[in-house]
Amino acid sequence: MSTEHNVALVVGANGVIGGNLIDHLVTLPGWEVIGLSRRGGVHTDRVRYRAVDLLDASDTRTELGDLTRVTHLFYAAYQDRPTWAELVPPNMAMLTNVVDAIEAVAPGLRHISLMQGYKVYGAHLGPFKTPARETDAPPMPPEFMSAQQRFLEQRQRGKTWTWTALRPSVVAGFALGNPMNLAMVIAVYAAISKELGLPLRFPGKPGAYDSLLEMTDAGLLAKATVWAATSERAENQAFNINNGDLFRWRELWPKIAAHFGLEVADPLPMSLSDVMADKARLWQHMVAKRGLKPLDYQEVSSWQFGDFVFSWDYDMFADGSKARRFGFHEFVDTEEMFLSIFDDLRERRIIP
């Protein structure tokens, strides 16, 4: 790993991925960190935050115009839209605006790290080839992650900086107000089930209970991201990053239920977006009764994402061996990861 002084610009600083990446960077010597998001953040000794509307090219240039010392751009921002095709314009615009702004003012830029996912393999469309490999062809466009990588590949030609693309599975870790946080979905769903005296039912499609899946721990992903950004072998490469083990909900779900002191009943397909829509008042009652952190219901719930993940009635995993062959050897036990996150949420008083 480089011992030079590094200035990291983390785009999407308040998300599960960006927040955990910042937490990792501040533990490393030689890193100065700037976090970028729409909401900004609270400055610390090691991290400065900026609130920027990345969809506004002029605002992005203005707000980033003095970041002349940035050496590493870590891009983990995301804008949600109702359809897959609608995701392309905003997510391409944000990346383009950031790269345009930083390239223009930071002559010492050495690396751009792009966060992707299994959409590059068409995983969001239905059953796809597993294990997915980095050499697999992308799906028919429009698909924004593949478009972002093509943009970086073309932009990098003739430049001194390099790029990497990290492809995690579903990322689990602590973050509030994030629309893609499966651990939070399960934790709040379990807490409300317990409050109502109900068993913990798997709410997904029948086939999803037996599909073969994997996860990516946010801390593991942060380590892999920094490794890829500072390793010469990893330059201009894409890497699948996953925990290293596989699971089925049929095996893991009862263990999650037991951790919350709940019984398990047979799976029952249901839309969490629908059945949890009226639970805001119940949640606020639980917050007051259990002495939880006074967070808005919308900050702790991401039911639409839960419905998406629990609808996967097909295998969802990729080959992570390329990263190991190139030098990244860390792994995480997925069951231990989930239980550790739930314990952390309890300690933070997010759930009872």
The mean predicted confidence, pLDDT, of the chain is 96
Task: Kindly report the pTM of this predicted structure.
Answer: 0.96
The confidence score (pLDDT) of residue 179 equals 63
The confidence score (pLDDT) of residue 180 equals 78
Domain ranges of the chain: 6-171+217-241, 178-214+246-347
Tens of pLDDT, residue by residue over 68-82, are 999 999 999 999 999
The confidence score (pLDDT) of residue 322 equals 98
Cite the beta strand spans of the chain per DSSP E. Answer: 6-11, 31-37, 47-51, 72-75, 111-115, 162-168, 170-172, 215-217, 237-241
Cα-Cα-Cα-Cα dihedral sign, residues 262, 267, 268, 271: positive
The confidence score (pLDDT) of residue 39 equals 84
Q: Are 18 and 37 in contact (CB under 8 A)?
A: yes
Assess whether pLDDT exceeds 50 at residue 84: yes
Tens of pLDDT, residue by residue over 48-72, are 999 999 999 999 999 999 999 999 9
Tens of pLDDT, residue by residue over 195-233, are 999 999 999 999 999 999 999 999 999 999 999 999 999
Angle between helices 57-64 and 88-105 (to 10 degrees): 30
Beta bridge partners of 36: 11, 50
Query: How many residues appear in the chain?
Result: 352
Distances (CA, A) of 225 to 138, 220, 320, 335: 22, 9, 14, 22
Cα–Cα dist 329/223, whole Å: 10
Assess whether pLDDT exceeds 50 at residue 311: yes
Q: Are 163 and 116 in contact (CB under 8 A)?
A: no
Residue 153: Cβ within 10 Å count: 12
Cα–Cα dist 129/195, whole Å: 41
On the question of a common fold for 6-171+217-241 and 178-214+246-347, the answer reads yes
Q: Are 10 and 75 in contact (CB under 8 A)?
A: no
CATH class of the structural domain 178-214+246-347? alpha beta
Cα–Cα dist 304/276, whole Å: 10
Cα–Cα dist 35/42, whole Å: 10
Tens of pLDDT, residue by residue over 150-205, are 999 999 999 999 999 999 999 999 888 776 789 999 999 999 999 999 999 999 99
- Mean of the pLDDT values across residues 35-60? 93
Assess whether pLDDT exceeds 70 at residue 2: no
pLDDT above 90: percentage of residues in the chain: 93
Round the CA-based radius of gyration of the chain to a whole number and report it.
20
Helix (H, G, I), strand (E, B) or coil at 15: coil
Multiple choice CATH, 6-171+217-241, 3.90.1150.10, 3.40.640.10, 3.40.50.720, 3.20.20.10: 3.40.50.720
Residue 309: Cβ within 10 Å count: 18
Residue 276: Cβ within 10 Å count: 22
